[in-house]
Amino acid sequence: MSIFKLFTIAILFSTLLFSTTYENASSKSTKKWHVLKEFSNGKIKNIYDKYKKSRVIQFKGDGTKSVYILTPKKKSFKKKKNETIFEWEMNFKEDFVIMIGMYTVKGKRYLIYTSGENNSYLQYGLGSDSTSGKWKKYSRDLQKDLEYFDKYNKLISVSSFVVKGSGRVDNIRMVKPKKIIKKEKIIKIDKNTTIKKSPKVEKKIEAKIEEKNNKIETNRPPVIHIKGDNPIFLKNGERYKELGATANDSYGSKLKVIISQDIDIFKDGEYSVIYMATDNNGNSALDRRVVRVGNVAKETKQPIISDSVDNNEEELVEREDDDVDLEQRALEILEWEKQLASREQELENKKNINYPSRPGL
Q: 258-297: per-residue pLDDT in tens?
A: 888 878 999 998 888 888 888 887 777 888 888 999 987 5
Residue 213, classed as helix, strand or coil, is helix
In 3-state terms, what secondary structure has residue 245? strand
> What is the per-residue pLDDT for 7?
42
**Nearest residue to 77 (alpha-carbon basis) of 172, 181, 153:** 172
Rounded to 5 degrees, φ, ψ at 347 are: -70, -35
> One-letter amino acid identity for 327?
E
pLDDT value of residue 233: 93
φ, ψ of residue 12 to 5 degrees: the values are: -60, -40
What burial class does residue 153 get, using C-beta atoms within 10 Å of its C-beta: 0-12 exposed, 13-18 middle, 19+ buried? middle
According to CATH, the topology of domain 223-343 is: Immunoglobulin-like (2.60.40)
CATH superfamily of 8-175: Galactose-binding domain-like (2.60.120.260)
Per-domain residue ranges of the chain: 8-175, 223-343
Which has the closest alpha carbon to 176: 141, 201, 144? 141
pLDDT at position 56 is 96
| Dist. CA 163–CA 113, nearest whole Å | 10
* Residues ≥6 apart with Cβ < 8 Å to 171: 21, 23, 24, 87, 88, 89, 137
pLDDT score, position 134: 94
Single-letter residue type at 94: E
Please tell me the predicted confidence (pLDDT) of residue 285: 81
Going by the DSSP 8-state scheme, the letter that residue 8 receives in this structure is H
**pLDDT tens string 230-253:** 999 999 999 999 999 999 988 888
| DSSP code at position 229 | -
CB 1 within 8 A of CB 151: no
State the burial class of residue 102 (Cβ atoms within 10 Å of its Cβ: 0-12, 13-18, 19+).
buried
The C-alpha atoms of residue 288 and residue 71 are separated, in whole angstroms, by 11
Residues of the chain with pLDDT under 70: 1-18, 38-40, 75, 179-219, 297-361
Sign of the dihedral defined by the CA atoms of residues 161, 223, 151, 357, in that order: positive
Query: How many Å apart are CA 266 and CA 199, to the nearest integer?
Result: 70
> How many residues in total does the chain contain?
361
Q: Which is nearest to 232 in space by CA: 271, 184, 286?
A: 271
How far apart are alpha carbons 95 and 342 in whole angstroms?
Answer: 11
